Amino acid sequence: MRILVENGEYWLRNRGDIAMLSVTVARLRARWPHARIGVLTDQPRVLRALLPEAEPIGAATGGDWPAVPGGHPVADRAALLWRAWTDGPKTRLRAVRNRLRPPATESGEPAQPAVPAAAATASLVVAQGGGYMTDVDRYQAHRALSLLEFAGRRGIATAMTGQGFGPLTSPDLVARAAAVLPGVGFIGLREGRRGPALLDAAGVDAANVLVTGDDAIEAAYDVRRPGPGTDLGICLRVADYAPVSDGAREVLGAVVREQAAVAGAALTPLIISEYDSEDRRCTLPLLAGARRTRRPVARAGTAADVARQVGGCRVIVTSAYHLAVFALSQGVPAIGITASEYYDDKFYGLAEMFGTPDAPGLRIVHLDDPNLRDSLTAAVVELWAGADDLREPLQAAALRQIEASRAGFDRVFGLVDGDSAGVGARHGE
């Protein structure tokens, strides 16, 4: 049996995406121990180092199954360490990669990406969790839709898991979604705020949709500490899809340094994405002048390493979605800072999944708030005081979502096993 996994982040530089991928591969491997599990990537040796139980499918080289399934552990680990040693801002690399992409059509929209050869012999195609079904990432959205359409037309089982949809308004992308998504066998959503309505508008049968939560929740929950942490965590990302003014940066840095000092806490830089060093470049300067700081995770650090750092915090402040996932899953309250509709949808959807009636564990602060300093300070103070009481309800919410996510994968298994109710139902679970 061959299973092809669409990995939305082919460069393997985002630890949130890697956490989702590790859970996906582990669940597929547990269900089908002898299957070949291929993962689309542009970093084959790095993939083998991170997930030796999966096979890299080279997206840039035609995307066929490797002639030899196994890797070379020493060489693969060396490749990961070498990349970490030589890594850094990739502004020039990003420009080169953009030039190598297929040219746009006459309408200005991205051309349809080539479907990897491995898809033709797959028994199951899974588009794993991510936030790429959105206007912000049209190229990757089209790439995933093309793969799902190809498989569906050939009678190959298809599924999407842990997906975040929207904002989705681009006419070409809306049309492609409406043409492809109704044919996908199962779609698991990480939130219920936007996704269900967008899928309904695309003509997807609600019976094929389940709100499960983010698949990375289980990976973070599994490394939780027995008690609350003591640090204040911080991550800031500035990108074309997440703009932040210089003034907002200054306020953010001042507030987290002040509040860490008031609490007698260390300020911990949390790095989820190494792409273009975006999290390091934006976060580390905020620590300048802080009384006590922690070291950031090494560039070769794993998703679990960062999740453990998060677990050492009492509260985190983050503009990166998956750091909030890592925190809430372990019972650590978080403040999501946002300056775009894209991140509004991410954080508000996550807040609803982890919300408690009287004291939400995720507070959202808008960076364009004219009273940013006061709003952010109040959120940190309130969550710091309430962290002990929030810990158990947040972990309980994480467990509910882990159960729902596993139920979603049972639905995926049923697509292949011929039982739409899934494996769990068959065993009375």
Q: Give, for 48, the enclosing helix (H) or strand (E).
A: helix 44-50
- pLDDT at position 424 is 35
Residues 121 and 262 in one domain: no
The yes-or-no verdict on residue 69 having pLDDT over 60 is yes
Residues 151 and 228 in one domain: no
Q: Which of 156, 191, 211 is the last residue of a domain?
A: 211
The yes-or-no verdict on residue 428 having pLDDT over 60 is no
The yes-or-no verdict on residue 224 having pLDDT over 80 is yes
d(CA 243, CA 237): 8
Task: Average the pLDDT over each of 98-102, 110-114, 127-131, 305-309 and give the range with the smallest value.
Answer: 98-102
Binning pLDDT at 50, 70 and 90, where does residue 73 land? confident
Cβ–Cβ under 8 Å, residues 218 and 402: yes
Residues 31 and 66 in one domain: yes
Asked if residue 22 is part of any domain, the answer here is: yes
Residues 205 and 228 in one domain: no
Asked if residue 407 is part of any domain, the answer here is: no
Residue 362 token pair: 């995720």
Strand segments, DSSP code E, in 128-277 are: 130-133, 157-165, 186-189, 209-211, 231-235, 267-269
Mean pLDDT of 109-117: 75
Asked if residue 9 is part of any domain, the answer here is: yes
Residues 12 and 146 in one domain: yes
> End-to-end distance of the chain based on CA atoms, in angstroms?
25
Question: The pTM is what?
Answer: 0.92
Mean pLDDT of 143-148: 97
Binning pLDDT at 50, 70 and 90, where does residue 40 land? very high
Binning pLDDT at 50, 70 and 90, where does residue 71 land? confident
Asked if residue 412 is part of any domain, the answer here is: no
Cβ–Cβ under 8 Å, residues 19 and 322: yes
Mean pLDDT of 146-175: 97
Where in the sequence is the domain holding 379, given as residue range(s)? 222-399
Residues 45 and 194 in one domain: yes
Residues 227 and 202 in one domain: no
The yes-or-no verdict on residue 89 having pLDDT over 80 is no
Q: Is 227 helix (H, G, I), strand (E, B) or coil?
A: coil
- pLDDT at position 86 is 83
Mean pLDDT of 263-283: 95
d(CA 321, CA 10): 19
The yes-or-no verdict on residue 90 having pLDDT over 60 is no
pLDDT, tens only, 162-197 = 999 999 999 999 999 999 999 999 999 999 999 999
Residue 217 token pair: 């929740």
In the chain, what percentage of residues exceed pLDDT 70?
A: 91
Asked if residue 425 is part of any domain, the answer here is: no
- pLDDT at position 103 is 54
Asked if residue 119 is part of any domain, the answer here is: yes
Q: Is 361 helix (H, G, I), strand (E, B) or coil?
A: coil
| CATH code (residue 155) | 3.40.50
Asked if residue 417 is part of any domain, the answer here is: no
Q: Give, for 108, the enclosing helix (H) or strand (E).
A: none
d(CA 299, CA 271): 9
Q: Which residue, chain included where needed, has tokens 């939400």?
A: 360
Task: Average the pLDDT over each of 33-42, 99-108, 301-310 and give the range with the smallest value.
Answer: 99-108
Residue 308 token pair: 């453990």
d(CA 325, CA 310): 10
Q: Which of 182, 211, 240 is the last residue of a domain?
A: 211
pLDDT, tens only, 364-386 = 999 999 999 999 999 999 999 99
Backbone angles phi, psi at 355, to 5 degrees: -70, 145
- pLDDT at position 20 is 98
- pLDDT at position 408 is 98
Residues 129 and 184 in one domain: yes
Residues 42 and 160 in one domain: yes
Angle between helices 303-311 and 15-31 (to 10 degrees): 110
Residues 176 and 227 in one domain: no
Higher pLDDT, 194 or 356: 194
Q: Using the CB atoms, write b or e for 62-99: b if 16+ within 10 Å.
A: ebebbeeeebeeeebbebbeebeeebeebeeeeeeeee
Residues 179 and 226 in one domain: no
| CATH code (residue 268) | 3.40.50.2000
Q: Give, for 114, the enclosing helix (H) or strand (E).
A: none
In the chain, what percentage of residues exceed pLDDT 90?
A: 80
Domains in the chain, number: 2
Residues 148 and 30 in one domain: yes
- pLDDT at position 357 is 52
Asked if residue 102 is part of any domain, the answer here is: yes
Q: Which of 211, 230, 258 is the last residue of a domain?
A: 211
